[in-house]
Amino acid sequence: MIDLTNDTALNSAMERICSKIGDMGLKYYIETYGCQMNEHDSEKIAGMLVKCGYTKADSKQDADFILFNTCCVREHAELRTFGNVGFIKELKQLNPRLILGVCGCMMQQKDVADKLYKRFPFVDLIFGTHELKNFPFMLEKVLDNERIINISEMNGEVIEGLPVERTPGFSTFVNIMYGCNNFCTYCIVPYVRGRERSRRAEDVVNEVREVVALGYKEVTLLGQNVNSYYSDGVNFPKLLEMVNSVPGLTRLRFMTSHPKDLSDELIEAMAKLDKVGKHIHLPVQSGSDEILRRMNRRYTASQYLELVSKLRSKVKDVEITTDIIVGFPGETEEDFEATCDIVRKVGYSNAYTFAYSPREGTIAAKMPDQIAQEVKKQRLNKLNAVLAETIPCGNKKYIGFEGDILIEGVDHRAEPLLFGKLSNFKMVYVQGDEKLIGTMVHVKVDGLRFNSLFGHITD
């Protein structure tokens, strides 16, 4: 672990930049792609930029520093990033002091970063996922007109003490671990985020205390595979218990859970800890045992279904969401039908569906029997139709349901309605005063409109 809270070199670099540009009124704009992990990295970069004297810009046109924080997990990411970067050339002509940076998972792939560096001479700064902590040093050089590309091959460490500029609201993220050791054969994450490493439990708890003091009510603990969190004798269920007892915290969520590591102890913890949301994101990826085996997921469809029934029997009103890939190499019609089948059996409350896209460097990209694009598209459409049928079925049981929602905002689409989520992530709309935003209220669900729950405040 490297603690940078009082790091003289880092703080002096940020101070030097601040005294150089502090009164120039420079603004930053960060565009983030991909998962919450990336979003949270962007909040850390924003934290450093604020310490360097930058303020947030409302648009790219308004910015003196634009950063693309890229993702490479799914399809077309490269094409989109190269397109976005190309568009900035014009802005650079309008604002000669504009700095353009590109970072994140895609830039951790050295060949892609090199290609971007060569193709777009107006990109000033490129850095990979393990270089966050060196951002101020790189920025300082770029402000002195150097062009920087910095991709380190190391696996990364746990870095503490970077400033964070959090997105305002009621809910925020806290990392509990970084990287992944699972090597699902389709996935690029272990290659671009490095091996799994957990933060110390006391650092996690302290950060949760800090965000509660800042006024956040809900915290989502983040990791690629939170169930394998382990640090100095503290496993994930114990960590949940520690965070659950932070005074002032209202709701606690976590993601993502790998089915192979979902322990009975965690299910018990979800059931008994009052602040822990009764919701789990449990990616199934496929319903076919053969595809699951080739994906290296290390569970079978029936083991997954057993977990689901265990969750349902122990955690009252639990809701389950998932990720699914169609068109994995060698996927037959029967394999695909098995996926539709498991979707019907589980009854998810939501699902993210993807057409398999080969990621260079992963095992699946080299597998024979890659599926044609049209077939993947057809299967994706069919799967989405199954979900569109099954998801709303789960809503009917909520008529008459009572529970607490944390009011997030007002929806103005038709009549103004407050909205917020139940502990299990189900969204409920109610009439009420805007002053209630950010508070927890008790509601009763009266009915359904389209696919949403509508109710009234009872206290």
CA distances from 77 to 42, 81, 87, 106, 121 (A): 18, 6, 16, 8, 20
Strand 251-255: give its sheet, edge to edge.
Answer: 171-175, 218-222, 251-255
Q: Which is nearer to ligand SF4, 85 or 222 (CB)?
A: 222
Q: Which residues between 207 and 236 bind ligand SF4 (CB under 6 A)?
A: 224-225
Q: How many residues make contact with ligand SF4 (CB under 6 A)?
A: 10
Residue 223 buriedness (CB in 10 A; 0-12 / 13-18 / 19+) = buried
Q: Considering the rule CB under 6 A, would residue 187 count as an interface residue with ligand SF4?
A: yes
Cα-based torsion angle of the residue sequence 102, 103, 108, 112 in order, rounded to the nearest 10 degrees: -10
* Among ligand 5AD, ligand SF4, none, residue 419 binds (CB under 5-8 Å by kind): none
Q: Which tokens is 113 given?
A: 């970063």
- Measured from the CB atom, is 217 or 297 closer to ligand SF4? 297
Q: Are 224 and 196 in contact (CB under 8 A)?
A: yes
Note whether 173 binds ligand 5AD by CB under 6 A.
no
Single out the residue of 56, 74, 200, 382 in contact with ligand 5AD (rule: CB under 6 A): 74
Question: What token pair was written down for 158?
Answer: 């746990």
Report the nearest approach of ligand 5AD to the CB of residue 128 (Å). 19
Calculate Rg over the CA atoms of the chain.
23
Task: Tell me which of ligand 5AD, ligand SF4, none is bound by residue 258, counting a contact when its beta carbon lies within the kind-specific cut-off of 5 to 8 angstroms.
Answer: ligand SF4
**Residue (196 or 207) nearer to ligand 5AD, CB:** 196
73 lies in the site for ligand 5AD, by CB under 6 A = yes
Q: How is residue 95 written in tokens?
A: 């604002």
266-295: which residues touch ligand 5AD (CB under 6 A)? 283, 285
For position 184 contacting ligand SF4 by CB under 6 A, the verdict is yes
Of residues 98-117, those binding ligand 5AD (CB under 6 A): none
In sequence order, what DSSP letters do the residues of 340-384 get, joined into one string? Answer: HHHHHHHT-SEEEEEE----TTSTGGG-S-PPPHHHHHHHHHHHH
Residues in contact with 296: Cβ distance below 8 Å, sequence separation at least 6, in sequence order: 182, 183, 184, 185, 363
Among 10, 21, 177, 180, binds ligand SF4 (CB under 6 A): 180
Selected from 14, 45, 187, 212, the binder of ligand 5AD by CB under 6 A is 187
Give the range of 134-142, 177-185, 373-381, 395-403 binding ligand SF4 by CB under 6 A.
177-185
Residue count of the chain? 459
Q: Which of residues 370-429 bind ligand SF4 (CB under 6 A)?
A: none
For the chain, the first-to-last Cα distance in angstroms comes to 47
Nearest distance from residue 438's CB to ligand 5AD, in Å? 30
The minimum distance between CB 324 and ligand 5AD, in angstroms, equals 6
CA–CA distance, 285 with 376 (Å, rounded to integer): 14
Q: How far is the CB of 262 from ligand 5AD (least distance, A)?
A: 15
> Minimal CA–CA distance to 72: which of 192, 223, 196, 222?
192
Pairing of strands 125-127, 148-150: parallel
Q: Applying CB under 6 A, which residues contact ligand 5AD?
A: 73-74, 186-187, 283, 285, 323, 325, 354, 356-357, 359
Q: Applying CB under 6 A, which residues contact ligand SF4?
A: 180, 182-184, 187, 189-190, 224-225, 258
